[in-house]
Amino acid sequence: MAATSSCIVNLGVKGNGNPEQPFSSSKSSQLLFSSNLSFAYNNTKYCLSLHSHQTLLSACLTKTKKSAFVVASAKPEHLKIMISGAPASGKGTQCELITKKYGLVHIAAGDLLRAEIASGSENGKQAKEYMEKGQLVPNEIVVMMVKDRLLQPDSQENGWLLDGYPRSLSQATALKEFGFRPDLFIVLEVNEEILVERVVGRRLDPVTGKIYHLKYSPPETEEIAARLTQRFDDTEEKVKLRLQTHRQNVEAVLSMYEDITLKVNGNLRKEDVFAQIDDALTKLFEDRKLNSGSLAA
């Protein structure tokens, strides 16, 4: 039997009149939404209160003698952000700083792929089959993983930060078709010489998994230094090829998000890089809060 739902509206007047009481077939209902809207007409102030319950929507209109103004209150939507950056651009560090301050859900396609495989989900099983054959996981599977993650309750309630995805125009188009569009597309721009230096100097501690840099973040002890390893593709020749591929991908994606793109100077210290991002996100959040919070006339 199909489930049915009903919505009952009550409009009453507070003050000298007796407000009508809202009726619900259920005596217990969970409050889902509450909002107040104040407005004025002919120097009379009216207040409309909306309360949405699982089984009930009630409204109440009140009037008082006040000067004319309009006030609306509602919770602003959470931020939806995408960030792109070349290898060693500092994207991981900026993602940590963004999620720490704004509470967004950090979603990285690579991490998501590994998690889906480990969980044994249907998408994960399909991806594993391709990987075991030494083949790239098709875009359709990765896009479905990303879509499913963006639809999870925590992403919907807290907002999200999509890290390093989409990487191609086809991926961006697929997300658009699913109804996902960011509020801001952040691009970290770093000079190629700096990127090459950062990548070539990177080292991995196989024991702890910590990443070091021979110049910028050297190991604490000689013992750690002796066991550090370098990724096979962290060479100057290979990193330049990866950077070329990255540039081509970003240029294609930018055509989709040109009007909401923020290009950030990533050559600076991480604190200064974050300051640029923070200014943009703060303004975006405040504008959203203003538009959904209160309007004065």
Exactly one of 91, 149, 198, 203 is catalytic; name it.
Answer: 91
167 counts as catalytic: yes
Q: Of the listed 100, 101, 114, 231, which one is catalytic?
A: 231
Catalytic residue among 14, 242, 288, 289: 242
Check if the beta carbon of residue 192 is closer than 8 Å to that of residue 247.
Answer: no
Q: Given 149, 167, 198, 203, which residue is catalytic?
A: 167
Catalytic-residue membership of 114: no
SS3 labels along the chain: CCCCCCCCCCEEEECCCCCCCCCCCCCCCCEEEEEEEEEEECCEEEEEEEEEECCCEEEEEEEEECCCCCEECCCCCCCEEEEEECCCCCHHHHHHHHHHHHCCEEEEHHHHHHHHHHHCCHHHHHHHHHHHCCCCCCHHHHHHHHHHHHCCHHHHHHCEEEECCCCCHHHHHHHHHCCCCCCEEEEEECCHHHHHHHHHCEEECCCCCCEEECCCECCCCHHHHHHCECCCCCCHHHHHHHHHHHHHHHHHHHHHHHHHEEEEECCCCHHHHHHHHHHHHHHHHHHHHHHHHCCCC
User: Could you confirm whether 231 is annotated as catalytic?
Assistant: yes
Q: Please identify which of the residues 149, 198, 202, 203 carries the catalytic annotation.
A: 202
**Catalytic residue check, 269:** no
91 is catalytic: yes
What residues act catalytically?
A: 91, 167, 202, 231, 242
